Amino acid sequence: MSDYSAMERIIDLDQAAAKITERRHGWETVGLTVGSVTWRDETASWPQPLETDRSLIIEPDSIGVRITNTEGIEAHITLYRGGWADLDTLTGDNVLCDAPQVASADAFGTLLDVHVARFLS
């Protein structure tokens, strides 16, 4: 692990991915389509591919998930181990973006709950 990575790491991405997994069934029960959790490896060559198999990731840099509602509106949620998230919602021709700070895997779970609730309304 690089010195830069050690200084920046504040989020355990395995714990954060578990927050998505914990919520998946509930989201699907209310009609959302939930994609696989994707992982990006900091050590991979550019362009860094997104992988769905965690075992292929040596140095996790980010996780993401795509959620689609029944109207076809998509939410793309990405969490970076450095402590921020990208929340992109695609509504037809519009893209709504937000980039909140995230302090922990538990805070990421709360962010998921709030963002998906807005996405459902």
Sign of the C-alpha dihedral computed for residues 93, 116, 87 and 68 taken in this order? negative
pLDDT per residue rounded down to tens, the chain (121 residues): 444 444 455 899 999 999 999 999 999 999 999 999 999 999 999 999 999 999 999 999 999 999 999 998 999 999 999 999 999 998 878 888 999 999 999 999 999 999 998 877 7
What is the C-alpha to C-alpha distance for residues 2 and 28, in angstroms, rounded to an integer? Answer: 38
Q: Is the pTM of this model over 0.85?
A: yes
- Find out whether 70 and 31 touch, Cβ atoms under 8 Å: yes
Give the integer Cα–Cα distance in Å for 20 and 34: 9
- Cα separations (Å) of 90 from 44, 56, 67, 72, 85? 28, 29, 10, 9, 16
